[in-house]
Structure 1
């Protein structure tokens, strides 16, 4: 039994299934004049795997990526040119926040907070979400505040 070949085969099959699953989101994205091509999806999957490795995390499904793609796709701040980069950045930020909060927060709560800061506070600026937004979410968590609270500490 050649385990490396077996694992390689399973990995290729899983990647193919992932591409198919993400490709199905194009039906929703097309409502916003957006589309993910196969190369875009491969880029997203590679960035996902890289993020998971660098953050020391594992993920058993595509729920987080799919949620991000759906939410980002509806944003007035996203266009075809920045869609993949925005999805990849948001995914990396999500896992950074999860690590900083020791996984005490539900995924959906972190995602909703990130989307709130992205769309309502920083008007689509990923740089501000990466900096001030993540800092605010983490500080709100540490001080027992609602994650989307914007008031300054006293």
Structure 2
């Protein structure tokens, strides 16, 4: 049975996302980063696969452009690893949106990812995912009031 959740043709959504991502190149050029048309298509494909595997729906390229805007000034992203890193960040974002059970806003999650990617993780995506983002998901699932506190002691996080 085919899934009929959306009535809007995918090509319209893809075209809109493509245009939004293409426009972000103006901002990223300042940091020596540019996406080609092929790169943009790759990113959109990654986003579509991540949305599908996480059971999510998105219109336009809003999250992609937010991620690119937030991360383009990172000292750990250079042109040679730009597309791969953005792809990984997109997949990570959607995975942890589900894992945090919608308790963390899009902007809050992106800001946290950027802060830890640049500082504590020094560009290491595995460290970001498996230490810090897993900790947020754990904190939320176990009722921690300050779920973004991933550096504090684990004792008593649930009871403040």
TM-score (norm 2): 0.84
1:125-140 equivalent positions in 2, closer than 5 A: 125-140=124-139
Aligned-pair CA distance for 1:146? 4.8
What CA RMSD, in Å, does the superposition of the two structures yield over aligned residues? 1.8
Q: Deviations over 1:120-148 (max 9, x none)?
A: 11011111112112112223434121515
Cα distance, 1:103 vs structure 2:
1.0
Given that 1:116 and 1:148 are in contact with CA atoms closer than 8 Å, whether structure 2 keeps it comes out as no
Task: Report how many residues are paired.
Answer: 147
More helix by share: 1
Q: Do structure 1's residue 21 and structure 2's residue 24 form an aligned pair?
A: no
**Kept after mapping to 2: 8 A contact 1:93/1:134:** no
Query: How much has 1:55 moved relative to structure 2?
Result: 0.7
Q: Is the 8 A contact 1:136 1:150 kept in 2?
A: no
Unaligned runs of 5+ in 1: 1-6
1:89 Cα shift? 1.1
For structure 2, list consecutive stretches of 5 or more residues without a partner in the other structure: 1-6, 156-160
Counterpart for residue 37 of structure 1: 36
CA contact (8 A) 1:113 1:137 kept: no
